Amino acid sequence: MMAAHAWMPLSPCGDGCVAEGATVGRARAVLRFAGLAGVLAAGALVAPVVLVLRGRAREAVLRGWFRLMVRASGVGMRVVGERRFQGTPGRGVLVVANHVSWLDELVVDSVQPIRIVAKRDIRSWPVLGWIITAARTVYLDRERLRLLPGTVAELAAALRSGAAVGVHAEGTTWCGSESGPFRPALFQAALDAGVPVRPVALRYLRGGVATTRPAYVGADGLVDAIWRVVRTGGLVVEVHVLDEIAPGRAADRRELAALAQSATERVLPPGAAVGAGHRAVVAARAPGMVAPGVPARVVLSPAVLPPGAASAEVVVPRRGRSGRRRLSRKG
């Protein structure tokens, strides 16, 4: 179990959030999976060459490769708004997007390849983890809160150098029918560097209707999440590149995070009705505590379930081990 602390991002989304039912045949899904693996392998082979390229040449090659990855997955893509994240070439910008799927990084880089802030687990992803690391990713260790100031400083330095750097401000994945609160900590880097923030909203649709099929939540492994996507037909991701938030508009990082979240929520309104099968995993933030000042016993009441959730799996640390309880609104 991960070390618990008050900053640890939590999501109420679990396996029950994800829409069921494959919409393409197994043979076609296998072809997509193989195509995705082929593009990934090709990327690993040409990566040493790409790393020596500079400027627009490197950007064009990387953008083309990421677009091939998205296309090989069977996913269509539509960009709404600006075609680049940097309003001023050579000026740093903090790109802030909601987080739903393993596809998110590929989709964002298909618009404009950028440096990203990612959880350290991504380093261990087969092949893709190596490529992402080679792209000068800033890794965030969510289990060791004391390292956060160093991550913010590294991020601010990258922004001052003129880089576009992407973060998922929710800190973890949500299923897409609901979104999480934007965590303000990493917004401090934009304030320190004096650069704008570019909110980006990602919407996954099937047949023009929002879908949770691409969500990477719950007990899913990466391969499981990829397989679900390649077995889904008619999947389209919309990338809404919203107006920049100029330096000076916010007094502090909390206000800046609120401005960015407000911008994305105009495109991604909160899900009013999560299905009755919605399941949540709630992790206590410290032994005996669910949140700062909230004892674990409070969790053991259906009143704390997320809106619309019929049940939740509650994880409560007890003397170095975790106990699990199943709660439901019926008692």
Do 128 and 40 touch, CB atoms closer than 8 A?
yes
Q: For residue range 258-280, what is the model confidence (pLDDT) as tens digits? A: 999 999 988 875 552 333 333 33
Model pTM?
A: 0.75
Nearest to 153 by CA among 193, 199, 123, 95: 193
| pLDDT beyond 50 at 201 | yes
CA 264 to CA 242: how far, in whole Å?
Answer: 8
* pLDDT, mean over the chain: 75
Res 207: pLDDT: 85
Can you give the pLDDT at residue 19? 63
**E strands in the chain:** 75-81, 93-97, 115-119, 138-140, 164-168, 197-206, 209-210, 235-241, 279-283, 289-291, 294-295, 311-318, 321-328
Q: What is the pLDDT of residue 212?
A: 81
What domains lie within the chain, and their CATH numbers?
A: 15-265 (3.40.1130), 279-328 (no CATH)
Q: Which residues pair with 325 in a beta bridge?
A: 314
Q: Residue 246 to residues 50, 171, 309: CA-CA distances in angstroms?
A: 32, 23, 38
Position 49: which residue type?
A: V
